[in-house]
Amino acid sequence: MRQTVLYIIIYIAVVLPLSASGQKGDGMHRYNTHELTIGETNFVDTIPIVFAGNQVYIPVYINGERHLFNLDTGSSQGVAYIGTNTGYSAPLGNINSRDANGLTDTIPIVEYPELRLGTPSGLSLRGYKASLLPRHGHHFIYDGIIGFDLFNKGLQAKIDVKRKRLILTDRKNYFNDEPGFEIKYKLQRWTPYLSIRTFLTHDEPTLFDTGATDIFVMNKTHFDIERKKDPRVPALVEETTYGQNVLGSYGAEKRGLIFFLKFPSLPWGNFTFTNVHSYTTQGDSKVGAAILSYGTFVINPKRKRIKFWSYTGGNNLEINNHIDDVSYMEQDSKTVVASIRHTSEYYKDGFREGDIVVSVDDKPIRTLDEFNAIKFEKGKSYKFILLDTRGFNKEITVNIPKND
């Protein structure tokens, strides 16, 4: 059984402002792209990007200082993290927000100073609003988020991670001659939802979410409905286990049954991704940023279309990705095994859901950040001390295959 490097696969929630139910003067902020001002017109701007850990980062300059912001199409607007040196304003009001697990909270809204994208003299964004959130430890690589409001403002974009660039333009027909396969999206909570035919007769509403790191995950409730209706659907199940795979801004998803799936095909318009491995989640179904590794994406908000063109050309592409055997989350400042595949070598060696990682190679692990900072190397062995749910320590040696 294949054994993978231990990755942190806790997915950070998208922040999705909901319509405020109160009236004007109630202190609630209303979603409004008109408050955002683009510093140029009739422009085409090529912005360098960083693609790491299946996430897109944009260099953003604030008062001449360079920061990295995550490009998150699953977030309807920006995010500012408490305590970062990004010059955000005092709160302007509050907004109702929904995270990746469907949990809601009321959070403050702030405004960034002028943002320059890519370079100190790059495209200017003024009046950019953001939800103000505590900074999760695993967000240490970036200082904020740019959300889908950048495109709802009317800007078209081409994301090309192979060439490490994001092309933005306000020219209406600029990308018309780009090759590719289009799929229409609908705005829900100001974010783009696609219709993906996961089964023979089922079209799944799927968030195009570059803030998630997967290729595709599916809402468990929808999967349960379909597997009861169509006797062919259970054949997609590779394995089941219990656990928690997703951490949102307001907490982890509830512990529950997780299905590990293999889709023979997932269509993108007239294009087909084949042999896509996935799993179920309690939140919305998502196409995540890992899919950006396979081709370019053009976002056209005027026509509400997203166009994909494979780096290898053609109208189909085999993915055959692997879902990690172990996921971790932080509970009470401890690194905890959130879920584990029972067919994995980790499970055979003694890893169990709920185990706390005490140390790795005699180095104490006090937080998830410390665990995440370990660079597990192929071909090496690592000694884990785990504290099980009964309160007993166990020592397990993990071998990382050279060919993993």
> How many CA atoms are closer than 13 Å to the CA of 6, on its beta-carbon side?
31
Token output for 12: 């950070």
CA distance 206 to 185: 9
Q: Are 377 and 362 in contact (CB under 8 A)?
A: no
For 90, 99, 116, 253, the CA distances from 113, given in Å and listed in that order, are 11, 26, 10, 34
pLDDT score recorded for residue 21: 38
- CA proximity to 215, closest of 201, 199, 196: 196
> Residue 255: its pLDDT value, please?
85
Q: ∠ CA(325), CA(74), CA(182), 5° rounding?
A: 95
pLDDT value for 247: 58
> Which tokens belong to 35?
């408050």
Q: Give the model confidence (pLDDT) of 12-71 as tens digits.
A: 344 444 433 344 556 656 667 777 889 889 999 999 999 998 999 999 999 999 999 999
How many residues can be counted in the chain?
404
What's the pLDDT score for residue 380? 92
Q: What is the pLDDT of residue 200?
A: 72
At residue 25, the pLDDT reads 57
Q: Tell me how far apart the alpha carbons of residues 377 and 6 are, in angstroms, rounded to a whole number.
A: 10
Q: How many CB atoms lie within 10 A of CB 333?
A: 10
Query: Global pTM?
Result: 0.88
CATH number 2.40.70.10 given to 8-216+268-276+285-323: yes
Q: Where are the domains of the chain?
A: 8-216+268-276+285-323, 326-399
pLDDT at 211: 92
10-residue averages of pLDDT along the chain (404 residues): 35 41 53 79 95 94 96 93 93 77 76 96 94 74 93 96 96 94 94 91 93 93 91 91 69 82 94 95 93 98 97 95 88 90 93 96 90 87 96 94 63
Beta bridge partners of residue 79, listed in sequence order? 131, 145
Topology at the third CATH level for domain 326-399: Pdz3 Domain (2.30.42)
Q: Of the candidates 54, 82, 53, 86, which has an alpha carbon nearest to the alpha carbon of residue 69?
A: 86
